[in-house]
Chains A and B, each alone.
Chain A
Amino acid sequence: AQSVAQPEDQVNVAEGNPLTVKCTYSVSGNPYLFWYVQYPNRGLQFLLKYITGDNLVKGSYGFEAEFNKSQTSFHLKKPSALVSDSALYFCAVRLDGRRDTGFQKLVFGTGTRLLVSP
């Protein structure tokens, strides 16, 4: 069964430093992977996705993620963190790998809280 693991409940980083939020996945077939962010009192917002192609995916707000098939990982990264990046980050994998349904049934991780200190 498809699943996603986010091993860290919280990540602390100082502003200006690089950040990494970890995600590992388990799927049958080719993975469709996503990162979403949730700011306080807001719904989840899409950051980036990996479907196929280049292993380094660039997304919104300067974030990027690296797909590593051998390690089944899809870590979220940013070269220089901002205080405004503080939020809850969710990794997700599509529930079925078939292209033909079109529905976006995602399995989410438990989330990682990112705290960026000034």
Chain B
Amino acid sequence: ETGVTQTPRHLVMGMTNKKSLKCEQHLGHNAMYWYKQSAKKPLELMFVYNFKEQTENNSVPSRFSPECPNSSHLFLHLHTLQPEDSALYLCASSQVLYGSGANVLTFGAGSRLTVL
């Protein structure tokens, strides 16, 4: 496989469930990101990881818990979600090149989450 792979592609869960989203990148990148995409809203940056270390947490509620065990894998653990958390969750990766602002993001196809 190439690129950025996200599983599952679709997930329906109740408000009391615990589930996880998985992201895997096969590009040799060293930074990974979680974005939330809701209709009619800008993409929201949730978390950034560099070399497995979390470098950004944009005031995301604690019911979202990221995990980055290595530079190729990123998880988003979901617990006690609300209906308004229903959205498309996008994972992305990039190669961190210090001294350059030009590196681009490569996105996965996303995980469509519905919270009942």
Contact = CB atoms under 8 A, between A and B. Distances in A.
Interface of A: 4, 9, 32, 34, 36, 41-46, 49, 51, 90, 94-95, 97-111
Given A45-B107, A46-B104, A102 B98 contact: yes
Interface of B: 4, 6, 31, 33, 40-43, 45, 48, 50, 55-56, 90, 92, 94, 96-110
Contact of B102 (A51, A105, A106, A110): A51
B26 to A, nearest CB: 14
Given A103-B50, A104-B31, A108-B43, A43 B107 contact: yes
B109 A41 contact: yes
Contacts of A105: 33, 45, 48, 56
Contact of B108 (A43, A49, A51): A43
B50 to A, nearest CB: 6
Contact of A46 (B48, B100, B106, B108): B106
